[in-house]
Amino acid sequence: MNQPILIDRDGHRTWLKWHRARHRAADPVFTGERIIEAMRLGASIEVDLVIHADHGCAVLHDLTLERETTGTGRVRDTSATTLRQLHLRDNDGQPIASKVMLLEDLCALLTRETVHPDALLQLDFKEDRQALGPEIVTGFGVSVSPIAGSVILSSGDFDAIATLAGSAPGLRTGYDPCHRGTLAALQASGNYLGFIEDALATAPDADIIYLAYEIVLAAEDAGVDIIAPIHAAGRRVDAWTINSVTPQSIEQVTRLLRLRVDQITTDDPEGLAEVFSK
């Protein structure tokens, strides 16, 4: 079986991004073990960041603690000390040995590791520019700068990304223009190319444009290739998120590979690599 990091098809390489630091569908999210594995292997891997009470970032997706951790309440109201004492939960909601990491914990962990030159850690900031204060921005820069060459910072708010990236020289950035209701609006208007033009203009420095895979495929159904103009602008495309390996998702991934997306976000990189190595 191929390593669960990429698929080569018809002369084009598509990376398999480990969504929420999952190697396989059964993995819990955001464990240091899986992040280290990915970075040693040369994989693309994604974790999320939310702001905590001490003006820093926790490696979590939700703004509340109950689903992902043994804590309760808002992350924003929880101290760094308390967060570090919380355990993560597995996919069945049961506590596991791994504890919640803060951004500085994650970065310190990776500075002690031998990181593969192809490895790319995506930090997906789940809040907006208004949530950022000077302490958060400064702390972000201090934490991320030592590993900036192996990191890309993304968000749906490019103003937030530009602000944070300014504190860590050499950090790459990405932009996700897809929000709730975007697909329905595009299907109604048919203005797929205008949508892409706006995304490229909004984020002129973004290396990667992150697109919901449903939008990519809906555009193709409408006779529009929205990957080509992104490539023409010298950017790459990530299609998110393939949650599991099913006959339907295999057909969807086959189409995405044909459209030459550069990266596919998935909760089951191992499963997709197995299917597409045959």
- Please tell me the predicted confidence (pLDDT) of residue 277: 87
41: CATH: 3.20.20.190
Distance of CA 200 to the CA centre of its chain: 18
User: Before 241, cis peptide (omega within 30)?
Assistant: yes
The number of domains in the chain is 1
| Residue 220 structural domain | 6-276
Cα–Cα distance, 82 to 228 (Å, whole number): 47
- Please tell me the predicted confidence (pLDDT) of residue 2: 67
- Please tell me the predicted confidence (pLDDT) of residue 55: 98
* 106 inside domain: yes
At position 234, the amino acid (one-letter code) is: G
pTM: 0.97
* 95 inside domain: yes
Residue 242 half-sphere exposure toward CB, CA atoms < 13 A? 33
* 1 inside domain: no
* 155 inside domain: yes
Distance of CA 138 to the CA centre of its chain: 22
Closest to 136 measured CA to CA, from 158, 94, 169, 164? 164
The SS3 of residue 128 is coil
From first to last of its 278 residues, the chain has per-residue pLDDT tens of 568 999 999 999 999 999 999 999 999 999 999 999 999 999 999 999 999 999 999 999 999 999 999 999 999 999 999 999 999 999 999 999 999 999 999 999 999 999 999 999 999 999 999 999 999 999 999 999 999 999 999 999 999 999 999 999 999 999 999 999 999 999 999 999 999 999 999 999 999 999 999 999 999 999 999 999 999 999 999 999 999 999 999 999 999 999 999 999 999 999 999 999 87
Residue 176 half-sphere exposure toward CB, CA atoms < 13 A? 24
Count Cβ atoms below 10 Å from residue 21 Cβ, excluding itself. Answer: 25
- Please tell me the predicted confidence (pLDDT) of residue 278: 75
